[in-house]
Amino acid sequence: MRQNRVDPEGQLHAVPQRMGWMGNRGCLHDGAEQIRHHHRGLRWITCVTEFRGRWRAPMPEGRYTALFFLDEATAYAAGHRPCAECRHADWKRFRALWANSFGDMRADAIDAALHKARWDGRGRVLAPMDPAQVPPGAMIRDAGGPVLRTPAGWARWSFDGYQPALMLKGPVILLTPAPLAHLMARGLPVQIDATALG
C-alpha cells in the first residue's frame, strides 16, 4: 500500500480509502516507491483526479508523487492550492481573490507566501481565536483530531469522512494556513466531503 494519502496536517499515510482529489508537492519517493521526503519545493497543488483522459502511475521513478486528499477542505488545510492547468478556472478565481487580499498574484509569490504560512504553528503555539471567526471550509486543531467548520457547524475529520462534533465555545487554534482561511472568509469556494454535510 502506497504512503500517499494526506491528512489535514500535511502528513502522508498508507491507508486504503479512495480520495476525491489528487495533488503533488514534488518527487517524494524513491525507486522502490518508498517516501523519502515530506516535500520538494514550494509548489504544493491540488488537482482533479481525471483530466483529458490522461493516466499516470502514482509514483513513477524520478517524477512527482501523486498525493490524494479526502476533499478540497483537507487539501487547503494541508496547505495546497488549485492547479493552474487541470483547474484553470479555480486557479483564476483563487488568484483574483489573492490579489484583492494580498497583492502579488504571481504563482511563485503565492507559493512562497503559502509555504511560509504552512509552517506557522507547526511546532509552536499560535494565538487562539474565537470559533465564530473560523470560516466554513477551514479546519482547526483539536485534541481529538482536526475539526472542520461547515456551513452548519463543526465536523471531525478522518480518512473515512466526517463525524458531527460538538459546538466549540472556547478559543481554538487554526490549522488551515491563515492566508487560505482569509480567502475562504472572502468567498473562496471549498468542496467539502458529503459526510460533513449530513
> What tens digit of pLDDT does each residue of 166-189 get?
877 789 999 999 999 999 999 999
Does 21 lie in the same domain as 101?
yes
The answer on 54 and 135 residing in a single domain is no
As for how many domains the chain has, the answer is 2
Mean pLDDT value across the chain:
92
Q: Rounded to 5 degrees, what angle do the CA atoms 82, 87, 78 make?
A: 20
Residue 72 has a pLDDT of 98
Q: In this structure, is residue 125 part of a structural domain?
A: no
pTM, two decimal places: 0.94
Query: For the chain, how many residues are written?
Result: 198
Tell me how far CA of residue 18 lies from CA of 24, 49, 128, 154, in angstroms: 16, 11, 34, 23
Q: Does 168 lie in the same domain as 101?
A: no
The predicted pLDDT at position 125 comes to 52
Q: Which domain holds residue 90?
A: 5-119
